[in-house]
Amino acid sequence: MFKNPLSKISLRNRFLIASFIIVFIVSLLVVLIIDFSLANRLKFELRERGVFIAKNISLESAHYISSNDTLYLQILAEHTKKLDKDIEYIFLLDAGGNVLVNTFGKTLPVEGAKSINILSSRQDYEIKEIFTEKGYVLDIAMPVSLESKEVIHVGMNENRIKNETKKVLRNVSVLALVVLLLVFVMVIIALDLIMKPVAKLIEAIKAVGEGKLERRVDIRSNDQIGGLASAFNDMIEMIEWHNDTQITVNSMLCLSLENTLFDEFLRRALNRILAIPWLFLESKGAIFLFENEPNVLTIRAQSGLSDSALAACEKIPLGKCLCGKAAETGKVQFSARIDSQHEIQYDAISPHGHYCVPIKYADKIIGVLTVFVEEGHRYSKKEEEALCAITDVLAGVIVRKQAEDALEEAFLELKAAQTQLVQAEKWQVVGRLASGIAHEVKNPLAVILTGVEYLTMLLNDDKEIMLTLGQMKNAVERADNIIRGILDFSRISKLDITVQELSSIVCNSLIFMENHFEKNHIEVATDLQKDIPNIEVDLNKIDQVFVNLFMNAVNAMPEGGTLLVRTYAKQLFDISEYAGVGRRAGDAFKIGDTVAVAEIEDTGTGIPEHVLDKLFEPFFTTRRTTGGTGLGLSISKNIIDMHGGAIYIENKKEGHGVKVTVVFKTLNKY
């Protein structure tokens, strides 16, 4: 097997050999570059000087050419040649190409002058390098004027610049040799000082290779080795940075694959960002997105912000404060403390600084990530790059999540539209039936009921007949109740709106139901909040809703039980609080709305889970055998919907029974 002959040479000697070769090659290259650069520079200077001289002669000779004063032209040429020792010759050609004056001497024959550098009619001047008995000459050919055809030729000798270049090259070569020897000696001395720190570096590199990223090299010298050690430590920190950043990015990608709500994903992603150990962040931050208002940032997730901060920063216009400026400019905004850039102020604001990072997707700003730093924190390019890398990934996930939500919303809207169409068809049928039933069924039922009551008075001695008549009376009254419910259902079209307070409405409905509660052994417990913001409702119809809900609760507890009724107001911050809460145009309630809530809980047997979705359908009832018509909840929901509110029915999570929640929008914030 072939062995590298250099393998037997020590690292120190290999370094010496390599250093000598490198310094020699570099020195040689420097000498060649200097030679080339100097020659080009001097040649360029010679050309520019020749062009300048030709222009001066052209300007001074124009008049004398027109007067055919060749004597003055000859004197001008010879005088100009004496002024610059690099001028080899000057000659002037007339329109026919004949030499009028010249200073050739023995350089060029006059007969060949006009052919050495032919000037095109469209050129300001022409430069050509020619060889003469005295060496290379730059010939500059220039027309006397734009109108004339006479041409001035000035020849600039290159011998001087070649001699100066050789002299400089000789001096530089000697200097390079001296530098080479000095460097070689210095390398020998430096090697002994380098080897020990290098050994430390090698040991640290091996440790890092084993995954020990906490390892650092303790070399504090101010020389290159100290710089190398510092660079090594910085590199390990950079590896840690990339590692932690990648872990955060991976965790966000994993979060995006989980079946979580969009706001929950944003909240958890924000917490992951704030938990990066080397980012000197406080545990405070927020994610803002552009939503329904195109030039307004809306806060969608936050961590550690006070209520006053949330209220002040809930919506930020484009270009206002640091967040708005980051969205407007598309650039990271940093501030080490609260200064004039903090346009939004609020009570009890604590000292802090900010990184505000725009969230970009395909060159479009979709939001801003804001993280807090301690007051006086110094800006770090590394921190900015990390946050930008994270927001780049976050932007893609946000767009995908929003697309998924939009698709889900479209599906739910389609499903809701289908359900509404079915319900509308049912209600149309009910409406058409109601008008006919009112005339065709209600009046005959009244006649039958009157006849049954009359027969009851006549035949009250016969028990069997009385039993049959009683059953007939109950059946007729049940049919009459169904017809009344149908008529009530079909008549709900207009509202008589007044300003009311929810707790007062509920209290009045409870008073109306006192006898029913007492008769059915129902214990009522209330928690009615005072000073709830007012709501706009039709008092009679809302009273009808609560009476119906209380009656359902009584019927659900035939053996008696406890009815808990509470009212309160709250501001909506989370879309998971109620169905229909969000930021979309079709949502019943918006994030930030203040709502008045009434909750009714019983201790009955509950409702089978498979029928919960059918409770609001007309004619659906779980009490068919006990006289239920299936219209009470349908009418109640119809009334609540007309008020822009919502009603939710669910089984209690703890214990037995049902919980009914009724939600209304309030006139002002809580």
Across 167-176, 181-190, 191-200, 635-644, least confident range: 191-200
304 φ/ψ sector (left φ>0, alpha ψ -120 to 50, else beta): left
Question: Is residue 304 a contact partner of residue 287, using CB atoms and an 8 Å limit?
Answer: no
Encoded tokens for 180: 């080479």
Mean pLDDT of 376-403: 85
pLDDT at 585: 43
Beta-bridged to residue 316, according to DSSP, are 297
Cross-strand pairs, 371: 285, 355
Per-residue burial over 235-262, b if 16 or more Cβ lie within 10 Å, else e, is: ebeeeebeebbeebbeebeebbeeeeeb
What's the pLDDT at 2?
45
Tokens 């039709």 sit on residue: 538
Specify the pTM.
0.43
Residue 345 reports pLDDT greater than 90:
no
Q: Is the pLDDT of residue 445 over 80?
A: no
Residue 385: partners with Cβ closer than 8 Å, 6 or more residues away = none
Beta strand segments in 119-227, E: 126-132, 135-143, 151-157
pLDDT digits (tens, 9 = 90+) for 579-592: 655 555 446 677 77
Order of strands across the sheet that contains 135-143: 99-102, 87-93, 151-157, 135-143, 126-132
Length of the chain: 670
Instruction: Supply the pLDDT for residue 618.
Output: 65
| Predicted local distance difference test score (pLDDT) of residue 586 | 46
pLDDT digits (tens, 9 = 90+) for 477-524: 767 666 665 665 555 556 788 999 999 999 998 988 888 888 999 999
- Work out the pLDDT band at 1, boundaries 50, 70, 90: very low
pLDDT in tens, 518-561: 899 999 999 999 889 999 998 888 888 898 889 888 888 888 89
Mean pLDDT, all residues of the chain = 79
More confident residue, 347 or 588: 347
- pLDDT tens column, 85-142: 888 888 888 877 788 888 876 555 555 666 777 777 667 888 888 887 778 888 888 8
Q: What is the mean pLDDT of residues 312-325?
A: 89
- For residues 444, 449, 453, 454, the Cα torsion angle rounded to the nearest 10 degrees is 0
Sign (positive/negative) of CA torsion 112, 116, 121, 124?
negative
**Whether residue 562 has pLDDT greater than 80:** yes
DSSP string, 369-405: EEEEE-TTPPP-HHHHHHHHHHHHHHHHHHHHHHHHH
Q: What is the DSSP letter of 84?
A: -
| pLDDT value, residue 670 | 55
pLDDT at 420: 59
**Is residue 472's pLDDT more than 90?**
no
Nearby residues of 322 by Cβ (< 8 Å), 6 or more positions away:
333, 335, 341, 342, 354, 356, 370
pLDDT at 265 over 80: yes
CA distance 318 to 328: 6
Q: For residues 279 and 465, which has the higher predicted lDDT (pLDDT)?
A: 465
Average pLDDT over residues 453-472: 76
* Cβ partners under 8 Å of residue 590, min gap 6: 572, 581, 582, 583
DSSP 8: G
What does the alpha-carbon distance between residue 257 and residue 265 come to, in Å, rounded to a whole number? 10
Q: How far is 620 from 649, CA to CA, in rounded Å?
A: 15
Spatial separation of the C-alpha atoms in residues 335 and 567, rounded to whole Å: 45
Rounded mean pLDDT, 58-80: 83
